[in-house]
């Protein structure tokens, strides 16, 4: 008996050492816009931009706002990630943000359904802003969830095709492809094998090839992800299945998953100067409008053009569309200065000059109809391609879900398994994915 005591003590010490716990305190989300917007106050604004040029651009807008609203001072905190946002919104407190922006639209469903962000509809009504007349449809879609407009678009992203003009000319390709069959042919024509690798690749189709996510590619197939009751439709949607099949076919046509994956490991950082399109390792890439700005600001000598990403042959009439997404901005429900916060959000998201100057500065697509039509928007033809994609009525995005981007992760994992050949029965995999998505959504509620 006495011999077992030290033993138990050791076990207890072990137990104490290993426990990993997440027991954050429950905080309510009372909110309530009772503050006087004309009173002198300071609001805290969190955003995720980190590049010096981006920080300067947003600061310029903040300065313009403070000049127009001298009673409101904005304390800006940069480099914020979604994890930090989620944690701060739950923790609340005096140091929590009043206004929050996020690079991803994935968490809008969670922000809205949990009421972490306040519904902005009453604020817009009070300010006489008609959302449908102010913002493009796709942008309004990805900033609301089940009728709760808990965020607004703060610039947009549109995805299109970047192509290397010199490589196109060398391969005898006269214009960018418009259909996926033309695209596949061009990708093969632009690919030069070298031993078990490549000296030049037409297009990197693997899902880890940076922006070649299934959601970005599948947008060309008009997929649906949920039905009106919120149930997953990925097992019955023909577009999504066709997207997986098209990508897998292209992977096989270009040399197979293993060879492509090995080549992918030679790529530099996506957002650095060694991006494979900027180094000439790939001839074509799907990317957002920001890539043009990055190329222009870098030492890259790539002579590039832009075009909408090709569409399936049977949807040729919809050429010009693409996947759209963007940065969103909302007001924390824990904020005690919601009226002042709204003044700031309103300025950033609806003031045409503010939207246009910010969009031009960071090479993003403006997010209001007025700003899109403004003659002050960067007139560079390569940039204008993305303006037109954003305006295209067939452009689409991934819908908000109450558990954030969990369903996209399920679909991404399916893609990894299918492209590598680990999964061969696509329909069974889609059936399982639909079931998993529904289970995950149910678990989150």
Partner 1 sequence: MTLTIEGSKRRSSYRPVTRSARRRRDLVRNLAFLSPWLVGTGLFFLYPLVATAYFSFTHYDGFTAPRWTGLQNWFYVFQDYPFFWPAMRNTIWLVVVIVTLRVLVGVAVAQLVIAVKRGGGFFRTLYYAPYLVPPVAGTLAFVFLLNPGTGVVNIVLGRLGLPQPGWFNDPAWSKPSLTLLALWTVGDLMVIFLASLLDVPQELYEAAELDGAGAVRRFRFVTLPYIRPILVFAAVTGIIATMQYYTEPLVAGQVASGQIGGSGQQTEPGYPDGSTLTLPQLVYNLGFQRFDIGAACVIALVLFALCMVFAALLMRRGSGFLAED
Q: Which of 134, 164, 324, 436 binds partner 1 (CB under 8 A)?
A: 436
Q: Which of 47, 391, 403, 441 binds partner 1 (CB under 8 A)?
A: 403
CA 419, 422, 424: angle at the middle one, nearest 5?
75
Instruction: Compare residues 178 and 216 and give the one whose CB is closer to partner 1.
Output: 216
Does the footprint of partner 1 cover residue 267 (CB under 8 A)? yes
Does the footprint of partner 1 cover residue 14 (CB under 8 A)? yes
Q: Which of 73, 103, 188, 189 binds partner 1 (CB under 8 A)?
A: 103
DSSP 239-281: HHHHHHHHHHHHHHHTT-HHHHHHHHTT---TTSTT-HHHHTS
Does the footprint of partner 1 cover residue 199 (CB under 8 A)? no
Tokens of 226: 């949920």
Does the footprint of partner 1 cover residue 271 (CB under 8 A)? yes
Residues 203-222: x/- map of binding to partner 1 (CB under 8 A)? Answer: -----xxx--x---------
Query: What element of type H or E holds 155?
Result: strand 152-164
Tokens of 306: 């832009």
Does the footprint of partner 1 cover residue 27 (CB under 8 A)? yes
Closest CA to 400 of 81, 33, 17, 117: 117
Closest CA to 368 of 160, 147, 133, 144: 133
Does the footprint of partner 1 cover residue 409 (CB under 8 A)? yes
How many residues make contact with partner 1 (CB under 8 A)?
68
Q: Which of 182, 235, 261, 353 binds partner 1 (CB under 8 A)?
A: 261
Tokens of 414: 């399916």
Does the footprint of partner 1 cover residue 24 (CB under 8 A)? yes
- Radius of gyration for the chain, computed over Cα atoms and rounded to the nearest angstrom: 24
- C-beta neighbour count of 384 within 10 angstroms: 14
269 phi, psi to nearest 5 deg:
-60, 140
Residues 58-87: x/- map of binding to partner 1 (CB under 8 A)? Answer: ------------------------xx--xx
Instruction: Compare residues 43 and 260 and give the one whose CB is closer to partner 1.
Output: 260
Strands 41-46, 99-102: pairing is parallel
Instruction: Compare residues 9 and 376 and give the one whose CB is closer to partner 1.
Output: 9
| Residues 159 and 395: beta-carbon distance below 8 Å | no
Of 311-319, 344-352, 357-365, 416-424, the window that binds partner 1 (rule: CB under 8 A) is: 416-424
Instruction: Compare residues 23 and 317 and give the one whose CB is closer to partner 1.
Output: 23
Does the footprint of partner 1 cover residue 11 (CB under 8 A)? yes
Q: Which of 2, 5, 23, 130 binds partner 1 (CB under 8 A)?
A: 23
Which alpha helices (H) appear in 320-444, and where do they start and end? 338-350, 352-362, 369-373, 381-391, 406-420, 426-443
Q: Which of 166, 264, 369, 388 binds partner 1 (CB under 8 A)?
A: 264
Closest CA to 300 of 329, 279, 317, 326: 279
Closest CA to 337 of 124, 40, 35: 35
Residues 326-355: x/- map of binding to partner 1 (CB under 8 A)? Answer: ------------------------------
Q: Which of 54, 255, 404, 437 binds partner 1 (CB under 8 A)?
A: 404
Which alpha helices (H) appear in 19-136, and where do they start and end? 52-68, 82-91, 108-113, 121-127, 131-134
Total residue length of the chain:
445
Min CB(199)–partner 1 separation in Å:
13
Instruction: Compare residues 29 and 179 and give the one whose CB is closer to partner 1.
Output: 29
| Rounded-to-integer distance, Cα 384 and Cα 390, Å | 10
Tokens of 205: 């189709």
Min CB(8)–partner 1 separation in Å:
10
268 alpha-carbon distance from chain centroid: 21
Min CB(223)–partner 1 separation in Å:
16
Does the footprint of partner 1 cover residue 412 (CB under 8 A)? yes
Does the footprint of partner 1 cover residue 191 (CB under 8 A)? no
Q: Which residues bind partner 1 (CB under 8 A)?
A: 3-4, 7, 10-11, 14-24, 26-27, 29, 82-83, 86-87, 89-90, 102-106, 110, 114-116, 197, 208-210, 213, 261-267, 270-271, 325, 403-406, 408-410, 412-413, 416-417, 420, 422, 436, 439-440, 443-445
């Amino acid at each position: 008996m006495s011999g077992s005591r030290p033993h138990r003590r050791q076990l207890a010490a072990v137990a104490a050492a290993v426990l990993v716990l997440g027991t954050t305190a429950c905080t309510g989300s009372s909110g309530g816009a009772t503050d006087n917007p004309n009173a002198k106050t300071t609001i805290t604004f969190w955003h995720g931009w980190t590049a010096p040029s981006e920080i300067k651009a947003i600061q310029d807008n903040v300065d313009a706002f403070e000049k127009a609203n001298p009673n409101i001072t904005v304390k800006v905190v940069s480099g914020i990630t979604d994890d930090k946002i989620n944690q701060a919104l739950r923790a609340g407190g005096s140091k929590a943000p009043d206004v929050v922006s996020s690079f991803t639209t994935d968490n809008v469903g969670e922000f809205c359904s949990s009421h972490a962000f306040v519904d902005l509809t009453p604020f817009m009504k009070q300010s006489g802003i008609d959302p449908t007349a102010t913002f493009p449809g796709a942008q309004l879609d990805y900033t609301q969830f089940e009728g709760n407009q808990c965020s607004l678009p703060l610039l947009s992203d549109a995805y299109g095709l970047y192509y290397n003009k010199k490589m196109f000319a060398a391969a005898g390709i006269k214009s960018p492809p418009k259909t996926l069959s033309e695209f596949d042919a061009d990708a093969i024509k632009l690919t030069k094998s070298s031993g078990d690798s490549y000296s030049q690749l037409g297009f990197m189709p693997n899902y880890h090839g940076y922006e070649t996510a299934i959601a970005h590619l599948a947008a060309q197939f008009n997929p649906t992800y949920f039905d009106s009751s919120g149930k997953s439709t990925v097992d019955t949607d023909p577009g999504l299945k066709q997207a997986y099949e098209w990508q897998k076919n292209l992977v096989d046509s270009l040399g197979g998953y293993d060879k492509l994956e090995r080549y992918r490991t030679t790529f530099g950082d996506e957002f650095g100067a060694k991006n494979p399109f900027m180094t000439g390792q790939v001839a074509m890439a799907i990317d957002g409008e920001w890539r043009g700005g990055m190329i222009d600001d870098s030492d890259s000598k790539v002579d590039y053009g832009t075009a909408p990403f090709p569409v399936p042959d049977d949807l040729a009439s919809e050429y010009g569309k693409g996947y759209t997404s963007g940065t969103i901005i909302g007001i924390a429900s824990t904020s005690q200065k919601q009226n002042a916060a709204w003044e700031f959000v309103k300025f950033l998201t609806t003031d045409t000059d503010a939207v246009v100057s910010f969009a031009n500065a960071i090479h993003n697509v403006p997010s209001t109809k007025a700003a899109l039509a403004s003659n002050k928007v960067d007139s560079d033809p390569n940039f204008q391609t993305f303006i037109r994609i954003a305006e295209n009525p067939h452009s689409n995005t991934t819908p908000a879900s109450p558990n954030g981007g969990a369903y996209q992760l399920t679909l991404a994992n399916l893609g990894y398994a299918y492209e590598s050949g680990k999964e061969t029965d696509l329909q069974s995999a889609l059936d399982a994915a639909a079931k998993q998505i529904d289970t995950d959504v149910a678990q989150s509620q």
